[in-house]
Every structure is written in C-alpha cells, then in structure tokens.
Amino acid sequence: MIQVKHLTKQFGQLKAVDDISFEVGQGEIFAFLGPNGAGKTTTIKMLTTLLRPTSGTLEVDGLDPAASPNEVRKRFGIVFQDPSLDGDLTAYENMEIHGVLYHVPRKPRLERIEQLLRLFELWERRDEQVKLFSGGMKRRLEIARGLLHTPKILFLDEPTLGLDPQTRNQLWTHVKHLNQTEGVTVFLTTHYMDEADRVAQRIAVIDHGKIVAEGSPQELKQQTGRTSLEEAFLALTGSTIRDEAATSTDQMRQFGKLWGNRR
Amino acid sequence: MGESPMSAIYVLWLRELKRYIRSRAQIVASLGQPLLYLVVLGFGLGPVFQKAGQGSYVQFVAPGIIAMTVLFSSTFSGMGLLWDRQFGFLKETLVAPVPRIHIMLGRTLGAASVAICQGLLVSIVCFVAGFRVADPRALPLAFLFMALIACLFSALGTAIGSVLQNIQGFQMIMNFLVMPIFFLSGALYPLSNLPGVLSVATRLDPLAYGVDGLRTTLIGVSHFGLAADSSVLIVATLTLLWVGSRLFSRIEV
C-alpha cells in the first residue's frame, strides 16, 4: 500500500529524513515511532503530498504523490498532529465541507456523515460549534472526517496527544474496528509505546532521520532483549532528551491569544 | 458520479459567509471605525470644506468611507488565511483532492462577499447620517465598483496571507501597506491640485480609482473618469488574482 525507497528530505543543512526505505502492506496497522524531531511528521507530509521529497521514491497505492497529488489525496484520510477543524462551524458543517471537497456525491455523503457521527458518538451534538467541543470530541470528529471519503489509508499523526486514557482507549478501539471491518490501512505515529504495542502489527523506529529498527512489537523486544516496548524504544534511540525549538506555529498561537483569536 | 469543480469553490465561499454571519459582535464592532470617520471627520471638517467652496463634506467623504470599509474588510478577510494556517483548517483544504486554484478562488470570493456585505452595511449607516445619492439609477454601477474593490483587495489579502508565515507581520502590513493605500486613495480629500509627489503616489494607488468610481456613481463627481477607473480596477484585480493564486499554490505547511 505504501512503498518508500531511499527517501530524503533536506531543509537547508538539516537532513530531516535521511535515506529511509520501508513498506506498509494492505490492511496493516503500521506504527512509525521516534523521538521529537526524528522525522516522523516530515515523512507523513511527504506521503500526504504536503511536501516534496528532496530525493528518493514514494508510492501510495501505486501512485507517486508528487506526480499525481489529487489521485493520491482521494486515497488517504489524515488526522494531523495539530487540530485542523474549523471551530466556528458545527461538527456537521465540518463533515459536509470535507465531503464536498472530496467529491462524495450528496446521497452517500449524507448517509455516511450520519453513520460516522453516530459511530464516534457525536451525532447528538452535530449542530454545535466545534470550538465548544472537548479535546477528545475534536479528535473523534477529525477521525470521523478523515474516514468520510472511504479512504484506503488512514494517517494518524499523534492522534492521542493530550487525551485522557479513557478517550485514548476508545479511540484505538475504533481504529482497530475500522481496520478489521473496512480493511483500512493505518499509518500512525505516537509517543505512547503501550498504544503502539497494543494496536500496531508492525513498527518502524526512526531517529535522526534514519530508520534504526523495524519489525513486530514482539520482534523489537526480542531484538533489544527488553520486556516492554518502551524499554526497547529507549534502547534503540537512547535516553537523551530532544529539545525542539519553538516553532513559528507556537509563536503564532501565543500571538493569536493576544489578539483574542478573532478568526 | 462526481460533482462539478464549482462545488469546492462554492463550499469554501459559503464557509466564509457563515463565519461572517456568526460573528455578530465583530460585525457591530467593525462598523465603529467607519462611523467614527463619518461623524468626526464628516461633521468636524464640514465647515472648513464648505468655506473652501467644495460643498458638503459628508456627501464627499461618504463614498470614501464606504471604500475604506471594503478595503479593510476584504484585506483582513483575505488574510484570514493566516488564522486558518495557525488553527490548522488550511491543511485540511490543502490535502483535499481539489486544485489549489479552486481553494484560492473560493476563499477569495468568500472574503470579497464578506467585504461587500460590510460595505452595504456602512452605506446604510451613511444614508442614516444624511448622505444622499445624486442619481439612484447609478446605484448598480456603484455596487459593481464596490465588488471590484472587494475582489481586488481580497486577492491582495490572500496573496499576503500566502507569503507571511505568521501573524507578527500583520501589523507591518497594516502600517506600511493598508494604511498608505487608504490615505493615498483620496477617500478623505479631493485629488485635484495636490503637490507633485503626492499626486503621483495617488495615481499609483489602485484604491484611488475605486474611490473615484464610487464617487462618480454616487455623487456625480469624477477625477479620473469612469473608463479609467474601471479599467485600472479590472486589470489590477486580475493581476492580483493571478499573483495570489501563484503564491497560494506554493504554500507549504
């Protein structure tokens, strides 16, 4: 479903992703793990047509995201690391816009919006503005939205960041359910090793832009001789803390607050 | 069966309008500034203007205030792109299987429509304050000028929003671009008999042609002439739409 060969992305002097290769099979739940700044999000951005690779080849469902972006975009749904909903619109309107942008015809669109909102227990609150939702509800809505156009692949970039254990648990139950019933391939990143251990069939660990290990959770534990995935992860990537510089988005968020979030 | 490409443009246009209608407090607040200009300048400078033999200042300045409202509203709405970048919704539209130009057009036309609504509201305020049009038959033409100003500066806002990475640049754009465009447009003073440099600067300001078009159609006082007004505005609008869509298509998030 996804094929990556010798993929590299360079920002100035920095090689964010450095000659990585991996494959994700159809119907697989694949976890892409790594410390902050390891290159996870950059890789997802390249797979999802938001960034062009510096070199190497990519294939998503047999297509090159750089060459045929719109065809690739129809095939995946994505939940970004940062929220990407319109808070001034209602849950239903957010779904509706997505359906139109993805050319889902009206009748199946209305049916599937209802089906998904019910599945994620948001139907009762469909006409409320999203800015009034809790973090967990927003995340659920984003996943529901990402599935509206029946994608073959679902990208989840740290979808459980900042959620309580109950919501996380529920979210992964949904994801596993979708994977089993609809055969959706799932490509996820997370910092919670127990989650990866629980849902992922295969894992790749990336650090400093390079893939340092690959295999099932069991294999990674055996490879490193540790009993938990968390320990295996630390053994693979070291225990030094990675500091990320404040991004321009963070600075803007701060500034946006000062401006009273007018938009 | 797929839907027409228009649907993406339409749905993003509709989004801008929905957001506008829902921000009622903001609508009222944004009428404050034009009202202040109209009342304070309109009545404050009135006597001086009258003494200079130029007639009623409220009559003169009202088209300028309408143009100002449309300028600010459309530039800000166009730059709403920055907020969407910050709050993430931009990404949602950029990964959709829709050509970027459709997204840009939907946003820009939405921003322009919001600005037109604001312009119409301020027109009503002007009317209440005592402004009277010279010939009601010219009103459709005045509306067209308002729409052109709205499209022109929404496209400018989108272009700026595509280039700026964050909101820090916002104040700079206000001080060094939007305010000069406003003050050089002749919205507040007649463009005739200006000192040389100022005269050249006003001629380079696309809004000057918008203000002149509105003034011609609303009160029958013209500086450049309607042909010059409309052709400059149309060319400027098309150019900025083109530049804006080029810049928008290059956005990386």
Residue A184 three-state SS? coil
Per-residue pLDDT tens over the stretch A45-75:
999 998 889 999 999 999 999 889 999 999 9
Residues of B in contact with A88 (CB under 8 A): 18-19, 22-23
Residues of B in contact with A251 (CB under 8 A): 166, 168
Per-residue pLDDT tens over the stretch B19-66:
999 988 888 888 888 999 998 988 899 999 998 888 899 999 999 999
Dihedral-angle region of residue A207 (phi above 0 means left; psi in -120 to 50 means alpha; beta otherwise): beta
Q: Which helix (H) or strand (E) holds B140?
A: helix B139-163
Dist. CA A143–CA A131, nearest whole Å: 16
Non-local (6+) Cβ contacts of A185 within 8 A are: A1, A2, A24, A25, A26, A27, A28, A29, A30, A152, A153, A154, A179
The pTM of this model reads: 0.88
Residue A255 pLDDT: 55
Q: Which two tokens stand for residue B190?
A: 């007649």
pLDDT-derived band at B124 (thresholds 50, 70, 90) equals: very high
Pairing of strands A202-207, A29-33: parallel
| CB-nearest partner of B167 from A48, A74, A252 | A252
Q: Which segments of chain A have a pLDDT < 50?
A: 260-263
Pairing of strands A76-79, A153-157: parallel
- Give the burial class of B141: count Cβ atoms within 10 A of its Cβ; 0-12 exposed, 13-18 middle, 19 or more buried: middle
Per-residue pLDDT tens over the stretch A10-55:
988 888 999 999 999 999 999 999 988 888 989 999 999 988 899 9
Asked whether B42 and B129 are in contact (CB, 8 A), the reply is yes
Q: Which two tokens stand for residue A208?
A: 């400093």
| Amino acid present at B28 | V
Dist. CA A118–CA B227, nearest whole Å: 58
DSSP, res B97: S
Axis-axis angle for helices B139-163, B226-249 (nearest 10)? 30
DSSP, res B174: I
pLDDT-derived band at B2 (thresholds 50, 70, 90) equals: very low
Dist. CA B116–CA A169, nearest whole Å: 48
Residue B4 touches chain A, beta carbons under 8 Å: no
Residue B132 touches chain A, beta carbons under 8 Å: no
Residues of A in contact with B105 (CB under 8 A): none
Residue B122 three-state SS? helix
Residue B52 pLDDT: 86
Pairing of strands A202-207, A210-215: antiparallel
Task: For residue B131, give the nearest of B42, B27, B53 by alpha carbon.
Answer: B42
| CB-nearest partner of A87 from B87, B91, B95 | B87
Residue B225 pLDDT: 95
- Whole-number Cα distances in Å, B68 to B107, B114, B176: 21, 14, 16
Residue A256 pLDDT: 53
Residue B1 pLDDT: 37
Predicted confidence (pLDDT) at residue B84 exceeds the cutoff of 80: yes
| Residues 13-32 in A contacting B (C-alpha not used; CB under 8 Å) | none
Dist. CA B181–CA B99, nearest whole Å: 32
Q: Which fold has domain A2-258?
A: Rossmann fold (3.40.50)
Find tokens 């034009």 and name the residue.
B34
Asked whether B161 and B78 are in contact (CB, 8 A), the reply is yes
The percentage of chain A sitting over the pLDDT mark of 70, rounded to a whole number, equals: 92
Instruction: Quote helix, strand, coil % in chain B, to nearest 5.
Output: 80, 0, 20
- What residues does A191 pair with on adjacent strands? none
What does the mean pLDDT of chain B come to?
92
Residues of B in contact with A98 (CB under 8 A): 92, 96
**CB distance A71–B26 less than 8 Å?**
no
- What residues does A153 pair with on adjacent strands? A76, A185
Asked whether B130 and B215 are in contact (CB, 8 A), the reply is no
Find tokens 């797979």 and name the residue.
A47
* ipTM score assigned to the predicted complex: 0.88
Region B104-129: what's the mean pLDDT?
95
Better-predicted residue by pLDDT, B83 or A256: B83
Dist. CA B200–CA B197, nearest whole Å: 5
Q: Which two tokens stand for residue B237?
A: 């609008």
Q: Which two tokens stand for residue A24?
A: 């994700």
Residue B28 pLDDT: 87
Handedness of CA A83, A89, A92, A95 (dihedral sign): negative
Per-residue pLDDT tens over the stretch B130-175:
899 999 999 999 999 999 999 999 999 999 999 988 778 888 888 8
Predicted confidence (pLDDT) at residue B5 exceeds the cutoff of 70: no
* Residue spans per domain, chain B: 6-249
The percentage of chain B sitting over the pLDDT mark of 70, rounded to a whole number, equals: 98
Closest-CA residue of A relative to B103 is A101
Predicted confidence (pLDDT) at residue B177 exceeds the cutoff of 60: yes
Compute the C-alpha angle A121/A126/A127, nearest 5°. 155
- Whole-number Cα distances in Å, B15 to A88, A128, B77, B103, B184: 9, 15, 12, 12, 33
Distance from CA of A233 to the nearest CA of B (A): 29
* Residue A148 phi, psi (nearest 5): -60, -40
Residue A181 three-state SS? helix
Region B74-87: what's the mean pLDDT?
90
Residue A101 touches chain B, beta carbons under 8 Å: yes
Predicted confidence (pLDDT) at residue B185 exceeds the cutoff of 60: yes
